[in-house]
Amino acid sequence: MLTVAMPKGRIFSEAIALLKKAGYDLPADLEDSRKLMIDVPDEQLRFILAKPMDVATYVEHGVADVGIAGKDVMLEEERDVYEILDLNISKCYLAVAGLPNSQVHDVAPRVATKYPNIASTYFREQGEQVEIIKLNGSVELAPLIGLAERIVDIVSTGRTLKENGLVELERIVEVTSRFIVNPVSYRLKNKAIDEMVERLSHVIERKGTSDEN
């Protein structure tokens, strides 16, 4: 039995679609269920549904063997897990944004974000000293209300930024979902995991070539 940690929300349906394409026979009601733990005995799989930010934590501690986590989570959490495959789904990127023509505070420029580690590493690499304010969501509010001049957040279509009158200032890094594996499971359950990796990479390659056509 392989335990798969899945991210709830935006990535979930794309991830399920990918597994189905890879030939895993998953029940149709998987997406509507409110259960947090769902067994699929025919496929020898158990799914656990976690907050996207927590997927890597479950996998690192070994309570899930494998998981699907965004690159943003991997960068922010720096968990000791194998990052085996780029699933190429849920594409977006991390960016710095702010109000147009806003002045950055001279002494203590402030940055609000859900990703304090990524933000602080990024600004340090830019040679800029900033103060990070950690928020848990609706980060776009921060510059509007004057909590911070800039934000670091995920951008997928740019609509949220636009509707709140914010502009993208710098792009930090591209983000896609990754297939991650616990180091112990990678060795002890290598048969089932290698097979899953194999099947998933076939789907990704096929998708990759069809996208280009």
Binding site residues, other proteins, CB under 8 A:
60-63, 80-86, 178, 182-184, 187-188, 190
Sign of CA dihedral 173, 174, 176, 182: negative
CB of 182 to other proteins, least distance (A): 6
| Residue nearer to other proteins on the CB measure, 74 or 112 | 74
23 Rama sector, left if φ>0, alpha if ψ -120 to 50, beta otherwise = left
| Residue nearer to other proteins on the CB measure, 187 or 206 | 187
According to the 3-state scheme, what is the secondary structure of 64-114? CCEEEEEHHHHHHHCCCCEEEEECCCCCEEEEEEECCCCCCCCCCCEEEEC
| Residue nearer to other proteins on the CB measure, 166 or 175 | 175
Structure tokens at 193: 């995991």
Structure tokens at 204: 């990704």
CB of 166 to other proteins, least distance (A): 30
**Closest CA relative to residue 43, chosen from 60, 13, 68, 19:** 19
CB of 84 to other proteins, least distance (A): 5
| Residue nearer to other proteins on the CB measure, 150 or 178 | 178
